[in-house]
A = this chain, B = another copy of it.
Amino acid sequence: MRRIAPDRDQLLGTVAEVFREHGYEGASLALIGGATGLGKGSLYHFFPGGKEEMARAVITHIDGWFADNVFAPLRDSGDPLAGIEQMLEATDSYFRSGRRVCLIGAFALDDSRDLFAGQIRDYFGRWVTHLAGALVRSGRRPDEASELAEEAVAAIQGALTLARAASDLDVLSRALRRSRMRLGLPAKI
């Protein structure tokens, strides 16, 4: 388990919210300061590298959450299908709990994409790889597992885009339900 000072944890969560809501360019220091209650002095004390370091820290923070709650179950669960189920549930609760867009997905399309290209590529790459690994352990052929994993992750990202466009989070729920089916999980109770 990751060890983070609780206040820094919360700070990063708040900053993440601003980036999520406004994108990298749109998240001005004024907005970040307003949301966190911190002035520029404090902000630059905690993040000497300025806005770029803030974004990088936020991405790392999110990446860590996914490592613990999404990738780890896929990798470590004895029953791979149970791990996949955990992944889907973590995904659902994560994107439902107010944070309605994948910040990393948004950054991937943003003007800032080159700044964070490595972190973004790794995030999605690990998601697909871990899911494919679980599918292989559940008995799928490797090539089939790769396709299904890529399809599932893309379906989630696409559903988030459509959900945002339509202001309708049910799009995500339906996508997750379909993924459950495509990945060979029993229909949910």
Interfacial residues, chain A to chain B (CB-CB below 8 A): 21-23, 25-26, 101, 105-106, 108-111, 113, 117, 120-121, 123-125, 128, 147, 150-151, 153-159, 161-162, 164-167, 171, 174-175, 178
Contacts and interface: CB of A to CB of B under 8 A. Distances in A.
Nearest to A104: B165
A101 B108 CA distance: 10
A108 B157 CA distance: 12
State the copy count for this chain.
2
- 4 tightest A-B contacts by CB? A158-B158, A26-B111, A154-B158, A157-B158
B108 A164 contact: yes
Contacts of A161: 105, 108-109, 154, 157-158, 161
A143 to B, nearest CB: 11
B150 A154 contact: no
A154 B170 CA distance: 13
Given A155-B154, A157-B157, A162-B154, A147 B124 contact: no
21 contacts: A21-B111, A23-B110, A25-B26, A105-B109, A105-B161, A105-B165, A108-B161, A108-B164, A113-B164, A120-B165, A124-B162, A124-B166, A150-B162, A151-B155, A154-B161, A154-B171, A155-B155, A155-B158, A157-B161, A158-B159, A158-B161
Given A106-B110, A108-B161, 8 more contacts: A22-B111, A25-B111, A26-B111, A110-B110, A113-B164, A120-B165, A151-B155, A154-B175
Nearest to A178: B151
A109 B164 contact: yes
A110 to B, nearest CB: 6
A105 B105 CA distance: 11
Contacts of A128: 162
A106 B117 CA distance: 16
